[in-house]
Amino acid sequence: MEFEIIQRPEVAVRLRVGRQEIEVGSGRMYALREGPNVPLSFDGVRAIAQTGAWRFDAWVARPVTTTPGIFDDSSHRDFSVWGAYVMRTRLGHASVDAYYLGWDRRNASFDKGVANELRHTVGARLWRNGLWAYDFEGMYQFGGFGAGNIHAWRVVAEASRGFAGRWNPRVRIDFDVASGDRNRSSPDLGTFNSFFQSGEYSGRAQLLGPSNSIRLEPTLTLAPRRNVSVSTGWGFYWRESEQDGLYGIPGNLIVPSNGVPGHYEGSRPIVEVAWTPNPHLSVHLNYIFVFNGRFEERSVHATTTESYICPWITYRF
């Protein structure tokens, strides 16, 4: 349910109460996760204010659990989140975001172990769209994990350049580093938690999340027709810390460290074709080939290669 508290030409204030989706900023901490994953929902209260080039968001909520039945999803009793997000657009040619995000979860699981997790995130983002585009973002996390403290971080740098000409080519480079835990004997935790990260971090197959990960990925995008785009890239991945494992998009541990040395995780060439016949309908086809590094082979006896194909259709009302 949404209430319009103030509606004037220079300012608008809205209040949303009940079940809702939350997406803010770049999607590196809060995203809808549409596509192959189940979209996220929250039960809570959210206030949104817009005035000129400024936008303010604040919320308190509980994530909604996903159960197999019909109309039986409920709020998570042991999991709550809150936050405040400020965005300033039209700051010269760029825009600036600043935010604080809170997270409280019982029995959170990491490679180090299981304990109650209270985590605070402060972050800032500088970004620009256009022929030359960039997106820089930094985050720092602190709090408590069981009897220990949390100290974690993430730094992201993306830049792209479009060119006028046939098929409107655009080249892009992404560099993304998120901390991992560095001392298994210490009660403190250094693993970054990406909260509700977008599923596109490592391709639509969502094989790998950003926690304890370094990603370097060049990409080329072409537009052979006005409503068709073809994107191809090759992502290279490393563990930020050898003392920590690899995590999925939701933050679940997928490959434990098991004392196996080595930073290199593997690489993934990706091809994606998107067709948008009208403003409501889009059709996508994504193919990923995976070259696993020796760490996964030695830790969980993973295969040396894998391949994924992912078709999907999105309709927006």
Structure tokens at 37: 């994953």
- Per-residue pLDDT tens digits for 25-50: 999 999 887 654 566 889 999 999 99
**Rounded distance, CA 47 to CA 298, Å?**
49
Q: Report whether 10 contacts 50 (CB < 8 A).
A: no
Strand pairing report for 170-178 and 246-247: unpaired
Q: What is the mean pLDDT of residues 4-11?
A: 88
The pLDDT, as a whole number, for residue 6 is 86
For the chain, state the CA radius of gyration.
20
Rounded to 5 degrees, φ, ψ at 295 are -60, -50
More confidently predicted of 51 and 73:
51
**Rounded distance, CA 114 to CA 107, Å?**
6
Structure tokens at 210: 């950003």
Q: What is the pTM of this model?
A: 0.92
Strand pairing report for 79-91 and 246-247: unpaired
| Structural domains of the chain, ranges and CATH numbers in brackets | 2-315 (2.40.160.100)
- Residue partners of 162: CB distance under 8 A and separation at least 6: 130, 131, 132, 133, 168, 169, 170
Phi-psi region of 277 (alpha: psi -120 to 50; beta: other; left: phi over 0): alpha
The pLDDT, as a whole number, for residue 128 is 96
**Rounded distance, CA 97 to CA 118, Å?**
23
